[in-house]
Amino acid sequence: MPTPPLAVDETLLAPGRRLIRFDGIAATLTDAPDREALLRDRAFRRRLFTALDARLTRRDGGPAGLLSLDVFDTLLLRDGSSELRRFVEVGEAMATHAGRAITAIDAFLARHLGTKASYRAGPRVDGCGEGSLTEIHLTAARLLGMPDAMADDFVGIELVNEAARVSVNRLLLSYIDRHRARGGKVVLVSDMYMHAGQIAALLARCGVPASSYDALYSSADTKVSKASGGIFARIAEAREAPFVVHLGDSPLGDCRRPREAGWDAMLLPVPETLLAERRRDRVRCLEELRRDHDLHFEAEAAA
């Protein structure tokens, strides 16, 4: 297998080992004690906008490049709760809605099993498989003895819960407006079990209208992801653009993979303090599940 090309901020130490160096903006975000405060800082705004303008505009006055953005923890900023915590909360809301003496822990477990089934048994494309929130909640409804139509209610409940746990990155939303004002196009690309329509509904609920972007792509629909690199070839707008710049928080899916596809990429990582907060919350949630329900999830993926 050929060695992937080096990104401009990578150093090949040995076969299979690379050193990734953060640029000033990525390093500032990584070390930020308060992400929201940093994103409101005027000096950081100037630094970010200057860096993006340099990547997305041409000195000869030619057409602007295509701006591509990750959704979660880039355009929509998650709080300090763990993924496990969010799923427990969704289970509680599902049980309240379903009634019939269904307990919150049973609803949580039904959603958990639905997730595992969706990822393991769902359709595959080019050797890749991704989950589907619709399939997850259809399985959960059936496990709980509910009619299939309840799956739509459960999806809606999950979107409401997600909206309560995220905030809009107003700094990037402002830059989107700036980029579109000069004729640039914007696409959103997400590795997520939510389908594009569901993500669009969540964005609208959070105050990001569909008019802010030209297209939205989700791995739940394409079944190939940013992490695999397969989704980038499916972005139709990229084939028409003079060049593309992608922004996101993952070194692999938002930096290396788009660069391997011939795009430019800019890493906007989640601060270490926030990642640590999520890890602590996950530990607390695991303890609660063990204490209250004798459930053990240590082997599950981290938050």
- Written in H, E and C, the secondary structure of 62-127 is CCCCEEEECCECCCEEECCCCHHHHHHHHHHHHHHHHCCCCCHHHHHHHHHHHHHHHHHHCCEECC
**In a shared domain, residues 212 and 136:** no
**In a shared domain, residues 107 and 142:** yes
- Give 15's pLDDT tier (boundaries 50, 70, 90): low
**In a shared domain, residues 227 and 212:** yes
Axis-axis angle for helices 272-293, 83-98 (nearest 10): 50
Q: Look at 28-42, 74-88, 115-129, 186-200 and tell me which has the smallest mean pLDDT.
A: 115-129
Q: Look at 114-118, 128-132, 285-289 and tell me which has the smallest mean pLDDT.
A: 128-132
**Res 231: pLDDT:** 94
Residue 185 in domain? yes
**Res 129: pLDDT:** 67
**In a shared domain, residues 205 and 98:** no
**Res 120: pLDDT:** 78
Residue 235 in domain? yes
**Res 11: pLDDT:** 47
Range of the domain at 209: 20-78+168-270
Please, are residues 167 and 76 in contact by the beta-carbon 8 Å criterion?
Answer: yes
**In a shared domain, residues 68 and 41:** yes
Query: Number of C-alpha atoms within 13 angstroms, CB side, residue 21?
Result: 10
Strands 186-190 and 215-218: parallel
* Tokens at 209, concatenated: 């209208």
Between CA 121 and CA 115 the distance in angstroms is 10
**Res 179: pLDDT:** 96
- Give 20's pLDDT tier (boundaries 50, 70, 90): very low
Number of domains in the chain: 2
**In a shared domain, residues 153 and 172:** no
pTM for the structure as a whole: 0.88
- Is residue 274's pLDDT more than 70? yes
**In a shared domain, residues 87 and 233:** no
**In a shared domain, residues 134 and 201:** no
Residue 4 in domain? no
* Tokens at 293, concatenated: 């329900």
